[in-house]
Amino acid sequence: MWLGSGVYTHVSTRPDSLHTLLHALTLVLPSGAVVGGSAAALLHGADYRRDTDPVPVIVPRDIEVHPIRIRNLPVKVTHAELLTEDVTRMFGIPVTAPLRTAFDLTRSTAPARRTPSSGDLRENVAALNALLSVGRDQAQAHGPLFTPVQFRSYVARERFYRWRGVRRAAAVAEFAHPEAESPEESRLLMDLVGAGLPVPELQYEIGIGTGRRRRARLDLCYVFDRGETLVAIEYDGEVHKDRRHEDVERWQLIRDQGVRLYVVTSKTRDTVLPSAMADVKARLRRQGVVVGDYHPRQAARVQRETAERLRLAREAAERDSPSHHPPQRRLPYTYQPPPR
């Protein structure tokens, strides 16, 4: 079966699978070119890429490349600096290394997945946390690809000083949460932040059932009154449809503990999420916390301001550490509205 310019494969190789198409792509790439973006993230084990995403191909700046055509595989070619440390191979395919993959995904805009009310960091945080969560499971012996500290140090390198989007990547690093179990959890996290709420606890554990011997983890949780009052937000995606009965039982046991539980789906996000936000804001205000009401179009600015506050708090805590080393460079997070 024909796949591209002079590239053929047998039908038994699943010609329409992404891995087969990427292997075909490597046969027509110029020397030094690599696969990047969400396709590289997928090969590293991150559950982030969507089927409709084009495959980014990064070519060294001094190499000329002709149009690349592979059957049923949209390709987007960009030129950028590639060092030896930026490149690795996965399943025989040259791809950007994990840190470089995260850097490229966190500094780029994703207009196809954004709305004016989602803020400009939402998709970037989802991509970073998807990569950070790889290897978190103890059953995976290879361990995590990198840590939040390593990513912040990578972003601060002098070589990236004038690269487009580096300030965005630095701001995204403040929302690094390896505990996020899906990109939708990260998107919910940024929706809450964009509405002016504090960053919630992720994967908060409580006891449920008889004697509270069973443990349940809440995707996103706000803790009030010394842990006695909880407002939790769970995302129920398509991946859970095969265990719907178990989830309904678990949700009821969670509510039996007095938890205010809001279950968000792709169809109920516009109604359930605002109710959860209003509940959290009301409880915070009763405790004397000042919480603003922001228009959805202010989400980008609020996310950047929250990133700055998180950085200041982190740096203050790090200064008290005996092993503290000053960062190579400190990037401002000044928000600049995208051009119309």
CA distance 1 to 22: 15
Distance CA 255, CA 208 (A): 9
Q: Residue 1: what pLDDT?
A: 60
Using the predicted structure, report yes or no on whether residue 11 has a pLDDT greater than 60: yes
Q: What is the pLDDT of residue 282?
A: 94
Helix axes 166-173, 148-155, angle to 10 degrees: 160
Does pLDDT of 115 surpass 70? no
Higher pLDDT, 186 or 14: 186
Angle between helices 299-319 and 166-173 (to 10 degrees): 60
| Ordered structural domains, the chain, with CATH | 2-180 (3.30.460), 197-286 (no CATH)
What's the pLDDT score for residue 189? 96
Per-chain mean pLDDT for the chain: 86
Model confidence over 157-196: pLDDT tens digits?
Answer: 999 988 999 999 999 999 999 999 899 999 999 999 999 9
pLDDT for 197 equals 96
Q: Looking at residue 245, what is its pLDDT?
A: 83
In angstroms, how far is the first alpha carbon of the chain from the final one? 45
pLDDT tens per residue, range 233-267: 999 987 656 677 888 899 999 999 999 999 999 89
| 197-229 pLDDT tens trace | 999 999 999 998 877 788 999 999 999 987 778
pLDDT tens sequence across 283-329: 999 999 999 999 888 999 999 999 999 999 998 888 877 666 665 56
Rounded Cα–Cα distance for residues 110 and 53 (Å)? 10
Residues composing the chain: 340
Which of 11-25, 103-117, 300-314 shows the lowest mean pLDDT across its residues? 103-117
Both tokens of 31, joined, read 């020397």
Give 6-67 as a 3 state SS string: CEECCHHHCCCCHHHHHHHHHHHCCCCCEECHHHHHHHCCCCCCCCCCCEEEEECCCCCCCC
pLDDT of 55 above 60: yes
Is 5 a residue whose pLDDT tops 70? no
| Global confidence as pTM | 0.88
